[in-house]
Amino acid sequence: MKKLRIAIIGAGITGASIARVLSRYENLEVHLIDKNPDVGWGVSKANTAIIHGGYDDDPDKYPVRARLCVRGNRLWHQWVKELEIPHVWNGALVVALKEEDFDELEKLLERGRRNGVPEMRIVEGEELFRLEPGLTKEALGALWVPIVGQIGPISAVIAIAENAVANGVKTHLETEVTGIRVERGEVKGVETNEGFIKADIVINAAGLYADEIARMVGVDYFEIHPRKGEYWIFDEGIPGPRRVLFPTPTPISKGIVVTTEISGHLMIGPNAQDLPAEEKDNLATTREGLEEVWEGAKKLWPNLPPRDKVIRTFTGLRPEPTGGDFIIKAEEVWGFINVAGIRSPGLTSAPAIAYEVVEIIRRDLGIELVEKKKWNPYRRDITHFFALPREKANEFIKRNPAYGRIVCRCNKVSEGDVLEAIERMKFLAIKTPSVDSVKFRTKATTGTCQGSFCRPRIIQILAREYGVEPWQVTLKGKGSEIGIGDVKVLLRREA
């Protein structure tokens, strides 16, 4: 059987999801390409990690978003089980702080019903505060959306990519696309800094850079500009809400969210600031932006902790397309499929987008897809050491002593966990050892001390397992090497 070669540009949540779904088919050879050293390091890395309900997207104005968000929510219920992705289905409250907000809540309720969102209703009084006791007493009511949930976004991308690779997908990391070869109106492959990758179909899932990739084949009817959102994260043990708390939305944003993220940390944000198209790497936080987030969050959650309980602030960028709706279509150049402008609710919609691409390949490109007789939907076995009963944990440590040596005190990450993370990094063909790749697989360096205790140990383990000198280990890929001086300081601190 002749196989069609498919090149997916972008290994974020969308690209990885497409790769996973396409790995089901016997007659496809799938290549997942990203310029970053690891999967999920673009837009997918920094967001609120919410699986939205589907009430917010106007089906008349944004029909693709409206349709795929609801379907994506349903698919995530299946995917988190198959792939063992950290998740919680805790529901959301869209809060009314003044009487006129109820008009908007009624619109959202009607919109959600049109989109097929189940079990939505407006709650007030005692029921409202039973759902969320810590909510501001100024709240008059809220739209209650039970199907909303949260996941670990990077954990999700990693899990999806691992499953895709286990089913035959080939990854090409640190591989930047510099051009797309087109002959007689058909794509032939992609030019990269690592050489030419032949492809019969090219899928553009390049996030913030999707417009630039599209222009490589002469498609220039849309532009992507970044929308910046800033966040605060608080130390563990700080009480946060049970539910995801939204204010009544504005025309450009769902508003500043207050939530307890999947690792148990109170998180507030984001605001929304539109940036010029050329500022796609502007990840700087600003005093003004962070203050806006703080004041907005206080309106919903008045008992924000003191600022000395903040362990991190960060910025995420969302790809805002011309027109606002997702752009998912086969273009006139045969074999080129745009999956562009995947802004919020892109995380929620990702599984549904993947199945949409399958339909485009079948319907618009006329390709018959042959399903594999054996396709594994499940992630490779994962050791959940700290979930083991004490007796079994002690037995496990005897067989695997590395799990008894703690590397990260804050999040109880052992050397065994780090070694498992490195094994998984190599499974995805990650070439450059980085602390961040370990961080996103174990949560090491994300606790109260933000890595001051565990980073030296992680560097030593990475150096040993990758066969490099400690100063050749990176923080987040090439260009962020630790350096000889830094290693000496870190090791002196450890001693």
DSSP 3: P
Concerning whether 384 is annotated as a catalytic residue, the answer is: no
Strands 149-151 and 87-88: antiparallel
Edge-to-edge strand order for the sheet containing 87-88? 50-51, 149-151, 87-88
3-class DSSP assignment, residue 206: coil
SS3 11: coil
Residue 286 CA to residue 230 CA, distance in Å, equals 8
Got the DSSP string for 444-460?
TT-STTTTTTTHHHHHH
Give the torsion sign (CA, 119, 121, 127, 130).
positive
Rounded Cα distance between 405 and 419, Å, is 12
Nearest alpha carbon to residue 269 among 315, 207, 318: 315
CB 123 within 8 A of CB 85: no
Distance CA 104, CA 95 (A): 10
Tell me the backbone φ, ψ of residue 46, rounded to 5 degrees. -130, 100
Tokens of 365: 């490109």
With b meaning 16 or more CB within 10 Å and e meaning fewer, what string describes 406-418? ebbebbebbbbbb
| Separation CA 5–CA 70 (nearest Å) | 31
225: amino acid identity, one letter: H
Token digits for 285? 């936080």
The CA-to-CA distance between both ends of the chain, in Å, stands at 60
Of the candidates 331, 316, 352, 364, which has an alpha carbon nearest to the alpha carbon of residue 222?
Answer: 331
Got the DSSP string for 340-367?
E---TTHHHHHHHHHHHHHHHHHHTT--
Active-site residue among 31, 52, 172, 265? Answer: 52
Q: What DSSP designation does 45 have?
A: G
In the DSSP assignment, the letter for residue 404 is G
Phi-psi region of 116 (alpha: psi -120 to 50; beta: other; left: phi over 0): left
Cα–Cα distance list, 364 to 185, 221, 449, 451 (Å): 15, 20, 52, 50
Point out the residues that are catalytic: 52
